[in-house]
Structure 1
Amino acid sequence: MIDSSTDRSQPLVEQVPVLVVGAGLAGLSTAMFLGMHGITSLVVERHATTATHPKARGQMPTVMEAFRVAGIDDAVRRAGYDTSLPMEIVIGPSLLGTPYKTLVESFDFDLTSISPTGMGMASQEAVEPILADRAGAWGARVQFRTELDGFTVDDEGVTAELIDLQTGGRRTVRADYLVGADGWRTTTRGAVGIGAHGHGALSHWVNTIFRADLGAPMEGREFALVYLQNPELQGGTGVFGGTDEPGRYVLSFAFDPEQGEQFSDFTEADCIEQIRIGIGDLDLEVELLDRAETEFAHRLADSYVAGRVVLAGDAAHVMPPTGGQGGNTAVLDGFDLGWKLAMIIKGEAGPGLLASYDVERRAFGEWIAEYQYQNLLQRMTPGGAEKDGGEAGRDPLDLMFGSRVVDGAVCPEPDDDHELVEHVVTADSRPGSRAQHVWLQRDGEQISTRDLFGRSFVILAADPAWRQAAGQVSDQLGVPLDVQVVGGDDLVDPAAQFAARYGVGEDGASLVRPDGFVAWRTEGAADPAALADAVRRVLSLSTVG
């Protein structure tokens, strides 16, 4: 439920399981996935609405799989560009100029051997309302024009003071947990004493939004993104891109405060001149709609968890936008945090499970932020188009599907190399890795193993004896375990791939987390004691019981 009104009759101290600060991609994803797992939340946002300015665009297949679990993947896909049409990302001197390097020609990738879903190309402005609506349908309350004005933390929860920015009214909220998803200007991180590290502030930009008739240059393109390297452009570099509205575009150019340059120095005429240089047409008719200042930075929280306070999205990991992974990482923060907080609050996991969110997401955040930083050096640094190497040169399939959580809430195998990112072509669904996509059939309809995950822990096995073993463990520990027997009449394995792809043989089983990562596996026969031990270890449960 989205609440923009100011008439909020609340108890003196309102009680909520989770208070989420910030209604961006991270905050709304967290609220949505919490709701999917049965936990309501209150989301507060100081702005009047969800995002209205062009920001992040594009959803990796892993994000679309998460949205598929929540039932919003089709809505997100419809809200974005048609990936079957040409969509170029290039490095060049201007939109009309000859590219120095073509990075992407199309997003119409055939990933059917790796994932049941493809890319999405929706904007942040389009996705946030979809997330808010689904979160609201699952019990979340999203309140705009509401600001966090301090909080205290104790062993049992968080007491927060909120201000209604329209009326000035104040109220107190008591929550079991507070999720700081308040963006790159986060106050939550500093309030709990979490420091930050990284490359720091990298560059300063003037972002312009404008209208122009670019019919000829854009003809035949569903979308274009041009990283500009041009000595005639202010700062020598910039970026051009489209928006959801035909004829409306964005162009950013750099300025350097250390050289005495300030955002306020750039007049409307200056901005239009830069737009014309970036397009490559000095006579182009341009209507400047808006301009704003922003900073590119690489700033990473030293920890994502401090007691009952958790960081997500840009509050945890500020990274340059080059590569489009900031928004994707924010959504996946919420996907991971949703099931972990829900299980803790419901008593199905120990509080220690939250530490795995810090270990897993912080390691990935560090890696992906460095990837984006290397992309910045290549794409938006004069002469960078000739540079290769580093994380920016990694196989895109590994970026999409190769991340691991082996040092978190899993039972790693003794010979595991503890690599953070693995090669997709050699992956084998080992603990800490992505549970692989295998096409199965149910009632004559094609279904992916990935479609079996998302709502609870899942045991995949070929031997029906695992049903009884899982039932015993579930009753003993109070943890729901969904058993899916592959190869029987209900779930057919037409290509006989499951046992080999999951490394469990005919007798063993794979325990898969709600986020689709393998937590544990065995080639041995159904063993309630071994399964119970694995579940306890993964969920930080007491060994008593």
Structure 2
Amino acid sequence: MRTVFVQIGEIMTRTPVLVAGAGLSGLSTAVFLGMHGTPALVVERHESTSTHPKARGQQTHTMEALRLVGLEDAFVAASPKSRGFALRIAASASGPVFHEILHDTFVPMGHLSPAASADASQEAAERLLLGRARELGADVRFSTELVSFEQDSDGVTAVLRDLRTGEESTVEAEYLVGADGHRSPVRTALGIGTHGSGSIAHNVLWGIRADLGHVVGEEQVLYYLQNPELSGGTGVLVSTDDADRFVVGVGFDPDTQHLDDFTPERAVEQIRIATGVPDLEVEILDRAPVETGMYVADRFSSGRAHLVGDAAHTMPPQGGMGGNTAILDGFYLAWKLAAVLRGEAGPGLLDSHDAERRPVGEWIATNQYRNAMVRTGARYDGPPPVEDPATLFFGYRHNGAVVSEPGDEHELLEDPNAPTGRPGSRAPHVVLDSPDGPLSTIELFGREFVVLTGSEEWERAAKSVAADLGVRLTAHRIGDGLTGPWAEPYGVSDDGAVLVRPDRFIAWRSPGPGPATDLERALRSVLAR
């Protein structure tokens, strides 16, 4: 790994990882790199983190990752103290309601995960991630633009510009992460195209202050509006972290309309129609045009550069998976970058970023597109969206850096309610008894490779292989302070062994006893060594 230093005379910075973009995906990448002991340099052209609520809500699979870096409680605390969350399709916030999609905070997931859920806005989430990233060693620079970069077999050389002073500097990095949004200059510079359903809709959004307590009550609300009196016949109204602050949007056709057509008077008119309150007193805080679309990058990696978040997959907001996927992109990529930079893995491990995350990202983006079609009343006769939370959060597999078994056809999905323990699937949540009380197997994973076994022989083998290969590997033997019916959900016998990756996906398993060389070969294969 290159040593991090700043040489004042030449304005030269060296860093293991340069991250372009300080949104959810970029800051998450920096946080999880820091957790693995790898500092990152993060540059963001905007002056600060988001000042708009944007994506809201962190599901249990995301909170499992945030728990590892000590942010679970902070995200729960940042969630609005409301009585719940309502998602409705309606003519206005005052009704009539055509369809109530969800009227609860979150679907209980206790049978699949020990983690809670949270309802923090992107506005709050980015602030929390920024603080933790800096605590874990990241250098985060706002008002700083990535001007250009070049890469070769030795690394990435980038030019940065301080937008406040105009001063330029050079950065040498081992790797570059493009977390720079749906228009992604990094993706463009790499020559990576996109595919997908394309642009779906254009809207104009207003941030407003208004007293709508008598309309929405104490709930957090999200209304998808279908009303011919609204521009484009559609709209949206969503709560924020403040009880009197909302975001209201209506349809906007850039081919026939101009933003200036939405005068303050017309804005108030449209907002009153959206809320269903004809005499509503409104303070307009800001206005912005927004394009909704579904695009997936043709590749998530090119040489030493890797894409995460909206740079990799842009999706409609309907379904709430965009922000969650952005955070987890960073979680799934960070351990691989750190392992390569520590010399524990070969560069080939990073090839699995595209192989694993692109199919998952495309599936999630496609599902959000289907949600958008259904919830906005668009003409659509395609497959319905997947709405089962268990499948959405825990049902996808990573078919890349794993040791596949005979007969495995590399399916993307499986039912997490009936776990198979196959390599590529998420390690099942099993509650064990420990000296300190109940403990989920999920709590044993997340920072390093783990061998889960009931056998002393496999436990000894794991320690020996870890020492021989110089890999961070821990063995947890069930029966040595931990007890419980773990073997069946993992598809092995009590004398078998399961190798779990740092991202809690199963890399390899042995149904029963076996030689240490089996574990060593599995690790070498996964780490591309």
Read off the aligned partner of 2:104 and give its amino acid letter: S
SS in 2 for 1:392: coil
Cα separation, 1, equivalents of 2:111 and 2:476:
21
The aligned counterpart of 2:471 is: 479
The aligned counterpart of 1:529 is: 517
Cα separation, 2, equivalents of 1:477 and 1:96:
64
The aligned counterpart of 1:4 is: none
The aligned counterpart of 2:3 is: none
Is residue 34 of structure 1 aligned with residue 33 of structure 2? Answer: yes
Cα separation, 2, equivalents of 1:280 and 1:155:
60
Contact 2:419 2:490 in 1 (8 A): no
| Distance apart, 1:82 and its partner CA | 4.4
Is residue 434 of structure 1 aligned with residue 439 of structure 2? Answer: no
Read off the aligned partner of 2:296 and give its amino acid letter: L
The aligned counterpart of 1:3 is: none
Is residue 491 of structure 1 aligned with residue 482 of structure 2? Answer: yes
The aligned counterpart of 1:353 is: 349
SS in 1 for 2:51: coil
Contact 1:48 1:144 in 2 (8 A): yes
| Distance apart, 1:533 and its partner CA | 0.9
Read off the aligned partner of 2:293 and give its amino acid letter: A
Is residue 396 of structure 1 aligned with residue 393 of structure 2? Answer: no
Read off the aligned partner of 2:460 and give its amino acid letter: Q
Output the TM-score relative to the length of structure 2. 0.96
Cα separation, 1, equivalents of 2:369 and 2:360:
14
The aligned counterpart of 1:310 is: 306
| Distance apart, 1:279 and its partner CA | 0.8
Cα separation, 2, equivalents of 1:141 and 1:154:
24
The aligned counterpart of 2:361 is: 365
Is residue 503 of structure 1 aligned with residue 491 of structure 2? Answer: yes
Read off the aligned partner of 2:225 and give its amino acid letter: L
SS in 1 for 2:385: helix
The aligned counterpart of 1:225 is: 222
Cα separation, 2, equivalents of 1:38 and 1:107:
35
The aligned counterpart of 1:72 is: 71
The aligned counterpart of 2:199 is: 201
Bigger mean CA deviation after superposition, 306-315 or 411-420: 411-420
1:101-144 CA distance string (max 9 Å, x none): 11111024332111001321100110111111111111111011
Read off the aligned partner of 1:227 and give its amino acid letter: Y
SS in 1 for 2:356: helix
The aligned counterpart of 2:234 is: 237
Read off the aligned partner of 2:184 and give its amino acid letter: T
Read off the aligned partner of 2:23 and give its amino acid letter: G
The aligned counterpart of 1:144 is: 142
Cα separation, 2, equivalents of 1:207 and 1:8:
44
SS in 2 for 1:349: coil
Is residue 168 of structure 1 aligned with residue 174 of structure 2? Answer: no
The aligned counterpart of 2:415 is: 423
| Distance apart, 1:480 and its partner CA | 1.5
Read off the aligned partner of 2:15 and give its amino acid letter: V
The aligned counterpart of 1:516 is: 504
| Distance apart, 1:33 and its partner CA | 0.4
Read off the aligned partner of 2:235 and give its amino acid letter: G
Give unpaired runs (5+ residues) of structure 1.
Answer: 1-6
Cα separation, 2, equivalents of 1:263 and 1:326:
27
Cα separation, 1, equivalents of 2:8 and 2:135:
21
List structure 1 runs of 4+ shifted beyond 6 angstroms: none
SS in 2 for 1:426: coil
| Distance apart, 1:201 and its partner CA | 1.6
Contact 1:237 1:382 in 2 (8 A): no
The aligned counterpart of 1:374 is: 370
Contact 2:114 2:442 in 1 (8 A): yes
| Distance apart, 1:202 and its partner CA | 1.6
| Distance apart, 1:529 and its partner CA | 0.7
Bigger mean CA deviation after superposition, 195-204 or 172-181: 195-204
2:103 to 84, 105, 115: 105
Output the TM-score relative to the length of structure 1. 0.93
1:126 to 112, 124, 127: 124
1:454 to 435, 446, 450: 446
Query: Are residues 205 and 460 of structure 1, via their aligned partners in 2, closer, same or farther at CA, if it must alter by over 3 Å?
Result: same
| Distance apart, 1:382 and its partner CA | 4.9
Read off the aligned partner of 1:294 and give its amino acid letter: V
| Distance apart, 1:280 and its partner CA | 1.0
1:14-50 CA distance string (max 9 Å, x none): 1100000100000000001011001111001111111
SS in 2 for 1:64: helix
Bigger mean CA deviation after superposition, 320-329 or 410-419: 410-419
1:180 to 178, 181, 184: 178
Cα separation, 1, equivalents of 2:141 and 2:439:
38
Bigger mean CA deviation after superposition, 8-17 or 277-286: 8-17
Contact 1:209 1:250 in 2 (8 A): yes
Is residue 266 of structure 1 aligned with residue 277 of structure 2? Answer: no
| Distance apart, 1:11 and its partner CA | 5.0
Read off the aligned partner of 1:401 and give its amino acid letter: F
1:239-259 CA distance string (max 9 Å, x none): 11000112000011111233x
Read off the aligned partner of 1:360 and give its amino acid letter: E
The aligned counterpart of 1:283 is: 279
Contact 2:453 2:459 in 1 (8 A): no
1:280-326 CA distance string (max 9 Å, x none): 11111111111111100111111011101111111111111111111
| Distance apart, 1:447 and its partner CA | 1.5
| Distance apart, 1:93 and its partner CA | 0.8
Contact 1:55 1:124 in 2 (8 A): yes
Cα separation, 1, equivalents of 2:41 and 2:86:
40
Bigger mean CA deviation after superposition, 336-345 or 477-486: 477-486
Query: Are residues 391 and 172 of structure 1, via their aligned partners in 2, closer, same or farther at CA, if it must alter by over 3 Å?
Result: farther
Read off the aligned partner of 1:508 and give its amino acid letter: G
| Distance apart, 1:63 and its partner CA | 0.3
Cα separation, 2, equivalents of 1:278 and 1:509:
57
Cα separation, 1, equivalents of 2:106 and 2:440:
20
| Distance apart, 1:393 and its partner CA | 3.7
Give unpaired runs (5+ residues) of structure 2.
Answer: 1-5
1:383-422 CA distance string (max 9 Å, x none): 77xx8x72514422111110111x2111122122322121
Cα separation, 1, equivalents of 2:516 and 2:145:
49
Cα separation, 2, equivalents of 1:391 and 1:361:
23
